[in-house]
Structure 1
Amino acid sequence: MTKTKSAASARPEDEKLGIAPSFAYGLQHVLTMYGGIIAPPLVMGQAGGLSQPEIGMLVACALFVGGLATILQTLGLPFFGSKLPLVQGVSFSGIATMIAIMTEGGLPAVMGAVIASSVIGLLLAPAFAMIVRFFPPVVTGTVIVSIGLSLLPVAAGWAMGGDTTADDYGSVANLGLAAFTLLLIVLLTKFGTPTISRLSILIALVLGTVFAAVVGAADFSTVAEGPIVALPTPFAFGMPTFNVAAILSMLIVVLVTFTETTADLLAVSEVVGTKVDSKRIAAGLRADMLSSAVSPIFNSFTQSAFAQNVGLVAITKVKSRYVVAAGGVILVVLGILPVLGRVVAAIPTPVLGGVGIVLFGSVAASGIATLAKVDYRDSLNLIIIAVALGFGLLPLVVPTVYAAFPAWFSVIFQSSISSTTMMALLLNIFFHHVLKRRRAVDAEAVSVPAFREIPHELLAILKEGDHYVGGALKDAEDNEIAVRSDDSR
């Protein structure tokens, strides 16, 4: 009797499949998100002008920290971890902001901003779990669209060759290689088996690189430089520096990360068929922030849940969190193999450009899918989206738009994602909370009580021209009509 009751109360995510099946399914999770987890360090490395070995180190560190964060999120500690099958990795949402910070203060400034904002986020996590109502689809969808759009120029730069000083920058050969990789992704997605389709980005990276090597457009001479196996060196790019404007800017990214992870927590709970309350959401957010605060020590960045793996759980019907934890172990192992990171860093930039178009475009597309849930019968939602996106994309289309402003202002608003989030959030609160509350108060204080003062029997004897204004009933000459509860006027 006790055994039956225990089995009935067991959560689907707590199922244990055994070591071999867990690692097999865990590897599938790693392959599904591999392209996504290596993209942010590649973007940051290219934008920072790092060498291939240094970019390889960033990639290895991203894998290592992502594995640790995944293990924390799935297995959990007291008050930390949702204990749901969620894969963690470097968040896309912070890339544009971190590039803006890096332009001013280098990687140490980025690391300092990530640490400080994550510690603050750790304190805010329980409160955010209670105010999710301020982040409806009109806000989250707009922010996600801006994330994708703000990263597309990065993909374009990659497709042209990455190095603006190179003689072949923007050449037909570079753009052709990017187009070839993009075509591979489209064909693999359309005509491949379900497994190949899900791995189309990874396969296209490999095939595009092989093709580039055949035509002499790939350089792997630096792969052998450095150790094959090594633990990440703490603060390899210098001790972090702390700038108030940079921290505030990254704090906005933390709020976006909260939104993304909360959405993924709710989505995976529906797929798994388990209950998620505010306490569990808060535990998941704390895990994000703890991982993000530790991440810069090992040369990585803000951590968040990967949405594509939620889809994999739905497709495979494998709901065990221990499977994803096994994937986290695999990521940690990959992270202590810096030679693998150097191989990834040697992938030709135009190949990354072809992949980036799909990868970043899919982020914008997921935001559009979120905006499809928005009610447009009230034009206010349309105004929120239009103003927030327009405001957020200003620094993208005119990079010098804030050149005359103070440095702290530029750091915050030069990032499309930061400015879009702030504008969407503030407009949503103003339109759908402040004004709505005022209309409700006005209606309750004036309209409803005043009409209740008119006796029902008087409605039948009202004369032409009688009207109601300013809380009083008046005749055609605007004289106030004395209303008595007994009979006539």
Structure 2
Amino acid sequence: MSATASSSIRPEDAKLGWRANIAYGFQHVLTMYGGIIAPPLVMGQAAGMSQADLGMLVACSLFMGGLATLLQTLGIPFFGSRLPLVQGVSFSGIATMLAIQGDGGIQAVMGAVIVSSLIGILLVPLFAMVLRFFPPVVTGTVITSIGLSLMPVAAGWAMGPDAKDPAFGSPGNVGLAAATVVIIIVLTKLGTPSIARLSVLLSLGIGTILAVFLGAADFSGVADGPVFALPTPFAFGLPTFDVASILSMMIVILVTFTETTADILAVSEVVGTKTDAKRIADGLRADMVASAVSPVFNSFTQSAFAQNVGLVAITGVKSRFVVATGGVILIGLGVLPVLGRVIAAVPTPVLGGVGIFLFGSVAASGIATLAKVDYRNNLNLMIVAGSLGVGLLPLMHPGFYAGFPDWFSVIFNSAISSTTLTAVVLNIVFNHWVRRSKNDGRSEFAAAAEHPKAEKSEE
């Protein structure tokens, strides 16, 4: 009878004991730690925050990531997939939030996140209908644009903290970023598998130690502020609400829907458990309610972390209670703002070196998705080319939409927003609107690539 009972237990419901939960849960925290602190660092640096405020922003993001992880893993009725998914601030919204912050400040970002997330909760039941407009050719293009749009941030970090500083872009700053890159490469290549998985986090520490010896690190602000503190609601002011900003964030919400759905399906396959439309909807609602509450505690949109899905596959530890323990650890780190101030004191050139790999890995994930797309006898290549071309215009020339109305520029100045809109529209036009014959529906670029000899003979 006990054997029957144990065989009926789903893999994700296995209980390993508190010692194993703490050990494996801490490993999950370490794996995603670099990713979860990067978005608040990007936003805080762009807003010109002090070290104390930046530390608080990081701590709040850890705190909210922990709460969101508990909701996703343990779940309540209608909220939470009850799968081993770690939650944190989503990369997909950074470019859009930076554009909103540049116009209306961080208060406008918070307002846009709250409203768009609440609307997102209402849209969850309809997402199954929209999902068919987000095939791999669209999601791969969008994810690639996310990584590419963040590379200027990494470049700015590598050059230094202040563009007005005479040392900005100096060989010393860029050299420190390059040294951090080399450290990541060495740890990944020569380290043990566990060290290789933590290469980004370890490189932050080693790069910072190197900066201390070079006199390029300043930890004088670490002691400013409390060691322990609960997040203060709306510490940066009450949110403001702008229609264009909210519409822009709605695109991010759709991208978050797509990413989380993919992560739920991926972790379900790894764990070996069943996933249906209801479970996906519960997971998406957990994302949205966490994202709606997140700005109250000075954080941003929440979504599942794909790198932790890989960790589940590597370790074979499938219990959701392990990840829930990781969520408790995140909450503990979030009420220790002193740790946030230590992280905020990491020299920006070191962050720049890490950012090159961190943001580059996002683009690489998109490219990997695009590699699975079928480009034969269709116009998928045109979708990728047109979407990336249009999406990267404001990135290559920031004043491209300067003469357009504010509502338009807020949406299209973001590479992620403009890429997503263009990719969805082109996918509808080329793959849904009009059905062509196989020969008529091919891209000329693809045809030329497939038949170079035929083209040569025609000459």
Do they superpose with TM above 0.5? yes
Alignment correspondent of 2:121: 122
1:292-350 Cα distance to aligned partner (Å, 9 max, x none): 00000000000000000000000000000000000000000000000000000000000
Partner of 2:447: none
Shift, 1:219, TM fit: 0.3
**What TM-score do the two structures reach when normalised by structure 2?**
0.94
Map of 1:448 onto structure 2: none
Distance in 1, matches of 2:5 and 2:377, equals: 49
Moved over 4 A (4+): none
Given that 1:73 and 1:80 are in contact with CA atoms closer than 8 Å, whether structure 2 keeps it comes out as yes
Partner amino acid for 1:165?
K
Equivalents in 2 of 1:90, 1:25: separation in Å? Answer: 21
SS in 1 for 2:88: strand
How far is 1:439 from its partner? 7.4
Deviation at 1:131, TM superposition (A): 3.5
| Residue 425 (str. 1) matches residue 424 (str. 2) | yes
Q: Paired residue for 2:148? A: 149
Partner of 2:83: 84
Contact 1:66 1:328 in 2 (8 A): yes
1:355 to 1:369, Cα distance in 2 relative to 1, 3 A: same
Structure 2 residue 223 is the aligned partner of structure 1 residue 204: no
Amino acid at match of 2:72: Q
Secondary structure class of the residue paired with 1:347: coil
Paired position in structure 2 for 1:41:
40
Name the SS for the 1:304 alignment partner: strand
For structure 2, the 5+ residue unaligned runs are 439-459
Shift of 1:125: 1.1
Once residues 396 and 131 of structure 1 are traced to their aligned partners in structure 2, the CA distance between those partners, rounded to angstroms, is: 28
Measure, in 2, the Cα distance between the counterparts of 1:40 and 1:257: 15
Question: Where does residue 267 of structure 1 map in the other structure?
Answer: 266
Residue 89 of structure 1 aligns to a residue whose secondary structure is strand
Q: Offset of 1:8 from its aligned partner?
A: 2.5
The equivalent residue for 2:5 is 6
Report the CA distance between 1:101 and its aligned residue.
0.4
Alignment check: 8 A CA contact 1:118 1:254 kept: yes
User: Pairwise mapping of residues 57-68 of structure 1 onto structure 2 (< 5 A)?
Assistant: 57-68=56-67
Following TM superposition, by how much is the alpha carbon of 1:130 offset from its aligned partner in structure 2, in angstroms? Answer: 4.4
Deviations 1:352-375 (A, max 9, x none): 000000000000001000001100
Which runs of structure 2 are paired with 1:151-230 in the superposition (5 Å)?
151-230=150-229
CA contact (8 A) 1:14 1:321 kept: yes
2:455 aligned residue: none
Tell whether the 8 Å contact from 1:129 to 1:281 is kept in structure 2 after alignment: no
If you compute each CA radius of gyration, which structure gives the higher value, 1 or 2?
Answer: 1
Once the two structures are TM-superposed, the CA of residue 4 in structure 1 deviates from its matched residue by 3.8
Output the CA distance in 2 between the equivalents of 1:378 and 1:277: 32
C-alpha separation between the residues in 1 aligned to 2:373 and 2:405? Answer: 36
Report the Cα distance in structure 2 between the residues aligned to 1:128 and 1:193, rounded to whole angstroms.
42
In the aligned structure 1, how far is the partner of 2:124 from the partner of 2:212? 47
In 2, the alpha carbon distance for the partners of 1:439 and 1:91 equals 40
CA distance in 2, matches of 1:6, 1:109: 52
2:329 counterpart letter in structure 1: I
Provide the rounded CA distance (Å) in 1 between the counterparts of 2:136 and 2:377: 14
Counterparts of 1:38 and 1:56, CA distance in 2: 10
> Cα RMSD over matched residues?
1.1
Q: Distance in 1 between matches of 2:322 and 2:429?
A: 44
Aligned residues between the structures:
438
CA contact 1:261–1:305 (8 Å) conserved in 2: yes
